[in-house]
Every structure is written in C-alpha cells, then in structure tokens.
Amino acid sequence: MDATRNIVILTGAGISAESGLATFRAEDGLWEEHRVEDVATPEAFARDPVLVQRFYDMRRAGVLAAQPNAAHHALARLDRDWTGDLLIVTQNIDDLHERAGAHRVLHMHGEALGAWCTACDARHRWTEPLSDNPPCPACSEGALRPDIVWFGEMPYGMERIFAALADADLFVSVGTSGAVYPAAGFVQAAAEAGARTLELNLDRSLGSRLFDETRLGPASTLVPAWVEEVLAR
Ligand code: OAD
C-alpha cells in the first residue's frame, strides 16, 4: 500500500519555460542581460530605482502575456483531486499556477503582479508599470516597489514551508537548478523528515544527487505523467 498523504512540491523557473518565460541560469536567461546586483537587491533599488522598476515592469508585462502550460494544469488537477495535504511552494513570481486553477500555492519569492508600499506597508495586486512612481492606493505616497523578495531579503512563508516539509511523505522538485537557498535546502529537510524525494527537471541540477529519484525531460511531459501516476495509486 502506498501511504503517501502529504505532498510538498517546489517549482522553479523551468516549469514556466515552456510558457515563454525565460529561466535565470539558461544562456538566454535574465542574468545575461542584467547582473543580479543591478536589479535584484535592495541596494540596487536604492541606487537606481528607475532601472529596477523598469526591469520588473518588463517582467510584469511578460507574466501578463504568458499562459499556463500542461505542467501548471497538471499540478492544478492534483491540487483539486488530492485529498491529503498538498503545498505548491513556488520560487516563481508569475501567477501561472493560480491561472491554471491551483489554490494551495505559496510564492516564497513574492509576485510580479504585486506592489508593496514601503510607506504604509500595504500590499496591492498590480498590473501596471511602477516606473512612473504611481501613488499607493492606501496612503497616497509614491513609495511602491515590486512585492518581490530580493537577494539579502527573507523569503515569504518559511515557517509554513518548513512545517509542511516536516510532515511530508513526498517532496517533488520541478524545474529548479538548486542554486538558490533556502529553497535548495528543502530536499534535505524533507528527506530528514522521512519523505521520499523526486526531481523532475530538464537537466541534472546542482542538487540531483540529494534526491531518491531524478527524471529528466521537459516539465510539460514529465509533470502530467507523474500526476497521472500519483492519482492512479
Ligand atoms: P534557474 O534558471 O536557476 O533554473 C531553471 C531550471 O529549470 C534549470 O535546472 C533547467 O534545467 C530547468 N528547465 C529549463 N527548462 C525546463 C523545462 N522545459 N522543463 C523542466 N525543467 C526545465 O531557475 P530557478 O531554479 O527557479 O530568485 O531559480 C531560483 C531563483 O533564482 C529564482 O526564484 C530567482 C533567481 O535568483 C529570485 O528572484 C529571488
């Protein structure tokens, strides 16, 4: 008997690659055009807010133009049909999991379609540019920044994530290079808690040796096949 009840899934840029959103560490990745220190740190934002806002204005527009692919749809189906605990922890700032219909999603690195007011701490759904410094709808200050976790900042939901990992029977990683902590450490936390660990990725990642099993291929093929397997058990 398969006693799997509680599943934690970690997704990375690879799951959205086939929706046309560039990954970070591919040759055509975002870091090729911009150094991380120029766009994804609080120091960069303090130094050149217009450059950083324009960079995320482009990311936001890209997210709005993209559509979920078969991998997002398969995970949404699993979310709908799985009666045990399930948490999709995504490092992605796009909303493609939600647009495919998934509900149990946690954005540990924030969201491209979010604006955070550094004056009054309000958070807003935001689909327009921020580079022209619009006022915060709550306090009227022009102090909105992308609601994205930059390097050196604390990811969202860590307590909830580690609680889910501690209870997990199965941990699945999809489309992530394992280059960025704390997400890269989740596989070890899950394994220490007794979970089986599975990696679905295009290429072997930095963390592949830490998984019980690695399946290589595009997410749009591997994820639907795996979901089919899990729901058939
Ligand atoms: P990366 O760009 O580092 O890694 C993407 C992974 O997806 C690689 O291992 C690819 O082999 C794999 N991949 C590419 N296409 C795929 C496909 N069609 N199907 C399956 N896998 C595919 O992206 P992340 O690991 O998500 O953080 O990067 C982690 C974090 O680094 C991001 O969240 C971002 C960045 O700094 C912040 O912005 C805070």
191-205 as b/e, with b when 16 or more CB fall inside 10 Å? bebebebbbbbbeeb
Please work out whether the CB of residue 155 comes within 6 Å of at least one atom of ligand 1: no
Q: What is the pLDDT of residue 34?
A: 78
User: Which is the closest atom of ligand 1 to the Cα of 110?
Assistant: 39
Q: How far apart are CA 211 and CA 113, in angstroms?
A: 33
- Ligand 1, atom 18: closest residue by C-alpha: 218
231 C-alpha vs ligand 1 centroid, how far in Å?
A: 26
Q: How far apart are CA 180 and CA 193, in angstroms?
A: 21
67 C-alpha vs ligand 1 centroid, how far in Å?
A: 18
Percent of the chain as helix, strand, coil, to the nearest 5: 40, 20, 45
- Ligand 1, atom 15: closest residue by C-alpha: 14
Please work out whether the CB of residue 176 comes within 6 Å of at least one atom of ligand 1: yes
Q: How far apart are CA 68 and CA 21, in angstroms?
A: 10
Q: Catalytic site residue 73? A: no
Rounded mean pLDDT of the chain?
A: 94
User: Which is the closest atom of ligand 1 to the Cα of 29?
Assistant: 2
Q: What is the pLDDT of residues 37-71, one digit of tens each?
A: 788 999 999 999 999 999 999 999 999 999 999 99
Local confidence band at 2 (pLDDT 50, 70, 90 cut-offs): confident
Residue 156 has pLDDT above 80, yes or no: yes
